[in-house]
Chains A and B, each alone.
Chain A
Amino acid sequence: MRKSRENNQNYLGEFEEIVLLAILRLHKDAYGVSIRRKIESETERSTSVGAVYTTLERLEKKGYISSRQGEATAERGGRAKRYFQIEGAGAEALNQAMIARKRLLKGVNPKRLPARV
C-alpha cells in the first residue's frame, strides 16, 4: 500500500517527462527558449512558453529539477535567463517511467497495431 502511494508521488505526467528529457538533452543550455524549441523539434508538436514554465515550476516544487539565474542580455531586453538542471530525484522518476514503459511495451509489436480509422 505504502509502496503504491510512493509510486504515485513519483508519477510523471507525459509533458513532465518530455520536459525532463529535453533538459537532459540540452545539458547546460536548458532554459525556457531552448527547452521549448527542443520539444517542438523533437516531438513535432506546438508548445507554449506558458505550458513549459508551469511544468518547470511543478517539477522544481517536486524537487526533480533545480534552477539558477544566468546573466541578462540585451537581446532579452536586459532580462536574465533561468537555467534548469535535473536533480537525483528527477533522474530517478524518469528512470522509473522508462522502466514502466518498457514493461508495458514487452510483447507489443508496433507493426501489428490496429490501423487508424
Chain B
Amino acid sequence: MDLLLEQYLDVMRRDARSARSLGMTFRLERERLGKSSREIYEETYIPERVIQAIEAGDLRSIPGGDSFYEDCRGDQDVKSYITAYAKFIGVTRVECEVVEIDHASSSNFASTGTAAIGATTFQSEGKTVRLPRAGEYLLYFLLTKREQVHLMGDLAEEYQEALSAFGHRRATYLFYKQVFDSLWPLTYRSLTKVTLLDLIRRLVGR
C-alpha cells in the first residue's frame, strides 16, 4: 500500500518499526542518486547524524525524537527534518508494509495518534463490534491527552479480551463497570487541579 509521506508519518507514530522502512526507502533513494550523507548535509543543512538516524529508523536519537512518539508536541524538528530530506531526494510516497491493523480500521486515528471517539471497532463472530461510544465520551473529557491514548487503549484491550471470552453483552458490562468506577478518581483529580482563581476566571468567561 502506497501512502503519502504525511500519512506515513502518522503510521510511524503508532509503530516504531515503520521508521526503519522509511529510513531504508530514503537510503536507497539517496544511493540511487549517488549522494553521500555529507553531500545531503551541504545542500540541505540537515546534520549528518540526523540523516544517519533517519536512515537507521532511530528517530529517538534526534532531539525532540521522543515527543514524536508521545503527544506530538515539540516534534516539529523531527517532522521538518524528514520532510526536508524527502523533498530533496524526491520521495513523496512511501510503501507501507509494516503496519497492518487487522481488527481496527486505519481511519481510527487522528493525526495526534489518539483514536477518534466511537471509531474503535473489533471483529466478533463475523460481526463488527464498536467500543461503547457513550463510555468513551464520559471519560474523554476527564483524561489528559496522553491518557486518551494509553488508558483508552487499556480499556480497548480488556474489552477485546472480554469480547472473545464472554461475548458482546458481558464485555460491554465490564467496560461500563470500569468507566463508572473510574469516574470518581478522575473527577476528583480534575477538581483538585482547578484553583479558585481558575474557577472565577472560567465563571467570568475570561
Residues of A within 8 A of B (CB): 31-33, 36, 46, 48-51, 53-54, 57, 69, 71-82
**Would A74 and B185 be within 8 Å (CB), given that A49-B155, A79-B156 are in contact?**
no
Asked if B185 contacts A50 (CB within 8 A), the reply is yes
Residue of A nearest to B114 (CB): A79
Q: Are A74 and B101 in contact (CB under 8 A)?
A: yes
The SS class assigned to the B binding surface is helix
Contacting B181 at CB < 8 Å: which of A51, A71, A76? A51
Among A50, A57, A80, max chain B CB count under 10 A is at A50
Q: Decide: B102 and A74 in contact? CB cutoff 8 A.
A: yes
A50→B183 contact, CB < 8 A: yes
A32 in contact with B102 (CB, 8 Å)? no
State whether A54 and B69 are in contact (beta carbons under 8 Å apart), knowing that A77-B115, A77-B153 are contacts in the complex. no
Within 8 A of A (CB), among B140-163: 142, 144, 146-147, 149-158, 160-161
Q: Are A51 and B185 in contact (CB under 8 A)?
A: yes
Q: B131, B146, B147: which contacts A77 (Cβ < 8 A)?
A: B131
Q: In the complex where A49-B155, A51-B181, A54-B186 touch, is A81 in contact with B14 (Cβ < 8 A)?
A: no
Do A76 and B157 touch (CB < 8 A)? yes
Report if B178 contacts A (CB, 8 A). yes
Cβ-closest 10 pairs across A and B: A50-B182, A79-B153, A48-B181, A77-B120, A32-B154, A76-B153, A72-B14, A82-B150, A77-B156, A51-B185
Which residues in B have their C-beta under 8 angstroms from that of A81?
150, 153-154
Could you say which residues of chain A place their CB within 8 Å of the CB of B144? Answer: 57
Tell me the bound Cα distance from A14 to B155 in angstroms: 24
Asked if A49 contacts B153 (CB within 8 A), the reply is no
A sample of 9 more A-B contacts (CB under 8 A), given A69-B69, A75-B103, is: A50-B178, A54-B189, A71-B17, A74-B103, A74-B104, A77-B131, A77-B156, A79-B149, A82-B149
Could you jot down 19 A-B contacts, CB within 8 Å?
A: A31-B150, A31-B154, A49-B178, A51-B181, A51-B182, A54-B189, A57-B189, A72-B15, A72-B153, A76-B160, A77-B104, A77-B121, A77-B122, A77-B131, A77-B152, A78-B106, A79-B115, A79-B156, A80-B149
